[in-house]
Amino acid sequence: MSAHLLRRISRNPRALSRIPQRWSSSISQRPGSDRVRFPGAVNSKFTTDMTFINPSETTNIPTYRVMDSDGVLLDKNRKPSGVSNEEILTWYKNMLTVSVMDVIMFEAQRQGRLSFYMVSAGEEGISVGSAAALTPDDVVFAQYRETGVFQQRGFTLKDFMSQLFANCHDNGRGRNMPVHYGSNYPRMHTISSPLATQIPQASGAAYALKLESLQNPDTPPRIVACYFGEGAASEGDFHAGLNIAATRSCPVVFICRNNGYAISTPTLEQYRGDGIASRGVGYGIDTIRVDGNDIFAVYEAMREARRIALSGGGKPVLIEAMSYRVSHHSTSDDSFAYRARVEVEDWKRRDNPIIRLRKWLENEGLWDEDTERTTREQLRKEVLKEFGEAEREKKPPLREAFEGVYEELTEEAQEQMKELKRILETYPEEYDLRQFKDGINGL
């Protein structure tokens, strides 16, 4: 079929006239060359050795770390460069805040006080450490287990609680499930549940930033940071997003949180290559694997990735941050149905980004048992205070159910709002509007 069609093309003068343009950009084979000059692989050497590349025989990509699990720097002479002790203490407190909030909110969900929650246990180092290397002008696309990114970039406890309780102060206007946070500035796009959809979007946003700085050289250099798990990396959108970022030279840093599980699916059932990092190389993307429990390694890798992303007019970078999902996937999941409790307990005890940094801080004389206790207690109080206030707040007015679908309310939507109002007025005993701001008048 296709050969026949090709003959038809070659007989078609209009198709022919287009072909020379193609030729002018391709490379012809030189006689006697030792390299293949096919346009699809211009620098490939000929070989008479018929060898299939066997991935199991290649060395796995190493994991970059700065300190060991006892919080001791591997290169004693080198402190994490360019960061003050005060800053590192903020990172620690931010990780602690996420961790304290996680415990309280998980419990609150168990009590039925909010509909859903997802903790970040074991991955606080990845989110806080990477976000610390961003500027407020950088743009973030996240998956959902990046609470630390929001915390590090100034999302307040009130912001978190308003979103979790979907009350009238929620940026999402009470429309999204809990932990689907979002903020205009620093821009962290509102999280959406479909996995990996944010990856090609991040490439497009990064391309927009690049165009913007080309068109207006006064704008500060900015990157997009895009987070996702190793499970999401199996989606077609991962492939699309990385490939398009590479071909369009987009200033975007992809950060994969490889925590060993996608809900119940272990990585052995997720992929057979060398993790996610090995794929970055295939797309022609600068790639590094880091120890995600080592906040210094994550920070340094992200800072350098940001620099690379802005170099040479823009280029994408992939960071694979290794960790272990200590917690259940979500409040709807009991992970002991598919993994041994002892494995989880072992990880909790053996290695953890918070304890690792705490050990470093204690070795430096910057932290001690008392400070730990009082800080935890203080954070607990603050979380509970905002929790209580957010829980008591009214829900957004009912019209928010219809607004925001389009820029303006359609005539159809206005009609449906009127109809809903009529129903609410006719059957007032069927609907409880007390929780909603302005009650029926909110429609």
Partner 1 sequence: MASLRLPRLIRPSGRRLYSGAASPSSRLNLPIDYKTTPLLHHTSSTLSESLELPGSTTSKSMNLYQAINSALRTALAKSEKVMLFGEDVAFGGVFRCSMDLQTEFGSERVFNTPLTEQGIVGFAIGAAAQGMKPVAEIQFADYVFPAFDQIVNEAAKFRYREGATGVHAGGMVVRMPCGAVGHGALYHSQSPEALFAHVPGVQVVVPRSPSQAKGLLLASIFEHNNPVIFMEPKCLYRAAVEHVPNEYYTIPLSKAEILKPGNDVTLISYGQPLYLCSAAIAAAEKALGVSVELIDLRTIYPWDRQTVLDSVKKTGRAIVVHESMVNYGVGAEVAATIQDQAFLRLEAPVKRVAGWSTHTGLQYEKFILPDVARIYDAIKQTIEY
Residue from 157, 244, 277, 344 touching partner 1 (CB under 8 A): that is: 244
- How far is residue 264's CA from residue 247's CA, in Å, rounded to a whole number? 34
| Residue 8 binding partner 1, by CB under 8 A | yes
Shortest distance (Å) from residue 182 CB to partner 1: 5
Compare residues 81 and 215 and give the one whose CB is closer to partner 1. Answer: 215
- How far is residue 259's CA from residue 320's CA, in Å, rounded to a whole number? 10
Q: Six-digit token pair at 111?
A: 């009590």
Interface of this chain with partner 1, residues 299 to 328, rule: CB under 8 A: none
- How far is residue 386's CA from residue 167's CA, in Å, rounded to a whole number? 12
What value does the CA radius of gyration of the chain take, rounded to a whole number of Å?
A: 26
Stretch that binds partner 1, among 60-68, 262-270, 409-417, 419-427 (CB under 8 A): 409-417
Stretch that binds partner 1, among 13-21, 30-38, 91-99, 377-385 (CB under 8 A): 13-21
- Which residues lie below 8 Å from residue 301, measured CB to CB, with a gap of 6+? 64, 130, 288, 290, 319, 321
- How far is residue 413's CA from residue 419's CA, in Å, rounded to a whole number? 10
Q: Are 286 and 292 in contact (CB under 8 A)?
A: no
Interface of this chain with partner 1, residues 196 to 235, rule: CB under 8 A: 197, 199-209, 211-212, 214-215, 224
| Residue 111 binding partner 1, by CB under 8 A | no
Compute the CA torsion angle 239, 241, 243, 248 (nearest 10 deg).
170
The reply to whether omega before 220 is within 30° of 0 (cis) is no
Residue from 42, 74, 405, 423 touching partner 1 (CB under 8 A): that is: 405
Interface of this chain with partner 1, residues 144 to 163, rule: CB under 8 A: none
Q: Is 1 exposed, middle or buried (0-12, 13-18, 19+ CB in 10 A)?
A: exposed
Shortest distance (Å) from residue 241 CB to partner 1: 6
- How far is residue 336's CA from residue 339's CA, in Å, rounded to a whole number? 5
Site size toward partner 1 (CB under 8 A) is 59
Residue from 100, 139, 319, 383 touching partner 1 (CB under 8 A): that is: 139
Cite the DSSP H helix spans in 289-340. 295-310
Name beta bridge partners: 266: 261
**Catalytic residue list contains 107:** yes
Compare residues 5 and 337 and give the one whose CB is closer to partner 1. Answer: 5
Kindly name the residue from 33, 115, 193, 264 that is annotated as catalytic. Answer: 193
Residue type, 126: I
Cite the DSSP H helix spans in 111-182. 124-131, 147-152, 157-164
**Catalytic residue list contains 4:** no
Stretch that binds partner 1, among 6-14, 53-61, 98-106, 339-347 (CB under 8 A): 6-14
Interaction pattern, residues 164-203, with partner 1; x per rule: CB under 8 A: ------xxxx-xx---x-xxx--x-xx-x-x--x-xxxxx
Compare residues 213 and 335 and give the one whose CB is closer to partner 1. Answer: 213
Interface of this chain with partner 1, residues 32 to 91, rule: CB under 8 A: none
Kindly name the residue from 107, 345, 364, 419 that is annotated as catalytic. Answer: 107
Q: Are 354 and 102 in contact (CB under 8 A)?
A: no
Compare residues 15 and 423 and give the one whose CB is closer to partner 1. Answer: 15
- How far is residue 142's CA from residue 229's CA, in Å, rounded to a whole number? 10
Compare residues 14 and 349 and give the one whose CB is closer to partner 1. Answer: 14
Residue from 40, 406, 427, 434 touching partner 1 (CB under 8 A): that is: 406
User: Collapsing DSSP states into helix, strand and coil, what is residue 322?
Assistant: strand
Which residue has tokens 């925001």? 404
- How far is residue 101's CA from residue 386's CA, in Å, rounded to a whole number? 11
Report, as residue numbers or ranges, the catalytic residues. Answer: 107, 193, 329-330
Binding site for partner 1 (CB under 8 A): 5, 8-9, 12, 14-15, 18, 21, 139, 141, 170-173, 175-176, 180, 182-184, 187, 189-190, 192, 194, 197, 199-209, 211-212, 214-215, 224, 236-237, 239-241, 243-244, 247-248, 400, 404-407, 410-412
